Amino acid sequence: MATKTVTDASFQADVLEADKPVLVDFWADWCGPCKMIAPALEELSEEMADKITIAKMDIMENPNVPGKMGVQSIPFLVLFKDGQPVAQQMGAAPKNALKGWLESQL
């Protein structure tokens, strides 16, 4: 399963009401580091599909949720469990570091 696209309109249902943890990648098309971690997130989305959903939210097209969450720098990753943000990470990281961080939070 590839990463899921989340919007301001779908955030409640796709993230807050999800039945398993959701990692939201707040990103933008002009962000170089965002593009660098995108392939790693795609791979992790497939490798960890039974444990977690990985979602992407374009902050330029969807300003409401990132604004409420105080997103000021991207890429900004937030892990939600049971509708609550439980962990966050700012900036790009290699795939193995992202996977280790996620596994330690699940």
d(CA 57, CA 27): 6
Output the domain CATH number for residue 36: 3.40.30.10
| pLDDT tens-digit series, residues 50-95 | 999 999 999 999 999 999 999 999 999 999 999 999 999 999 999 9
9 exposed, middle or buried (CB, 10 Å; 0-12, 13-18, 19+)? Answer: exposed
The domain tally of the chain equals 1
82 exposed, middle or buried (CB, 10 Å; 0-12, 13-18, 19+)? Answer: exposed
Whether cis (ω within 30° of 0) applies to the bond prior to 39 is no
Residue 1 in this model has a pLDDT that exceeds 70 = no
pTM of the model: 0.96
Q: Which residues are catalytic?
A: 31, 34
CB 41 within 8 A of CB 53: no
Dihedral over Cα of 98, 106, 4, 11: its sign: negative
Residue 2 in this model has a pLDDT that exceeds 90 = no
Which range of residues forms the domain containing residue 40?
A: 4-105
